[in-house]
A = this chain, B = another copy of it.
Amino acid sequence: MRKKEEKKISIAVIRRLPRYFRYLSDLIKLDIKRISSKELSQRMGITASQIRQDLNCFGGFGQQGYGYNVELLYDEIGKILGIDKRFSCIIIGAGNMGNALANYQNFRNRGYDIVGIFDADPRKVGTVINDIKVYHIDDLESFVAKQHVDIAILTVPGSRVNEVASKVTALGIKGIWNFSPTDLKLGSDIVVENVHLSDSLMVLGYRLREKLNGSEQ
């Protein structure tokens, strides 16, 4: 049930919320009770006006001359991001990236439980990664029939990702987190987040070049 005054928050703001959430979590660990948009701006490296605009989107917990109540804001952003809800996830592709993700403790802390790993390589089937069993990809259908799965994390090669995504969609899984280099474009029936690691590396390269050019001048 939605509160009457609740507004639809734009996806651009939503994409920034996990970052606010992490920073506020750090502040709580440091026992900081309140923070101004200016201080938060300095810590996060984004403008104070952007912060005020973003946080205004969901009611705004800032008070003139007082700043934001850290814990209140943390809880509210957590609620919006739905960290109280748990998601059941599978990883498809037990290669290095699949292994790395299966071992990443943070996902469980954020509400994402990995319940199974799938691979086509018979040598991997039956092994266990961080207490999670590796199944043959051919057993995906019977697995999903027995156990509800919200999200499929795809770490398969680019050449196989479309085929795997079709299979996942056909089984009624509604979310895909795609690590293959190709953006998946699927129907409106399924939610996809494509991860592009090189995007972040290219930004690093840009900033590094700016810095080196600056210091050479």
Interface positions of A (Cβ within 8 A of B): 11, 14-15, 17-19, 21-22, 26, 80-83, 85, 87, 95-97, 99-101, 103-104, 106-107, 110-112, 150-151, 174-175, 177, 181, 183, 191-193, 195-209, 211-212
Contacts and interface: CB of A to CB of B under 8 A. Distances in A.
B101 A99 contact: no
Contact of A191 (B95, B103, B200, B211): B211
A191 B177 contact: no
A110 B197 CA distance: 12
B22 A211 contact: no
Contact of A81 (B15, B22, B181, B205): B205
A82 B204 contact: no
A191 B175 contact: no
- The dominant DSSP class at the A interface is helix
Contact of A18 (B15, B106, B198): B198
Given A205-B81, A205-B82, A18 B87 contact: no
Contact of A208 (B80, B97, B104, B174): B174
Nearest to A10: B47
B80 A198 contact: no
Given A22-B183, A107-B198, 16 more contacts: A14-B203, A17-B202, A21-B202, A82-B206, A87-B208, A99-B100, A100-B100, A104-B197, A104-B198, A106-B198, A110-B201, A111-B205, A150-B208, A174-B208, A191-B204, A193-B203
24 contacts: A11-B207, A14-B206, A14-B207, A18-B198, A22-B196, A80-B206, A81-B202, A82-B205, A82-B206, A87-B208, A96-B97, A96-B99, A106-B181, A106-B198, A110-B198, A112-B201, A112-B205, A175-B208, A177-B200, A177-B201, A191-B207, A191-B211, A195-B197, A195-B200
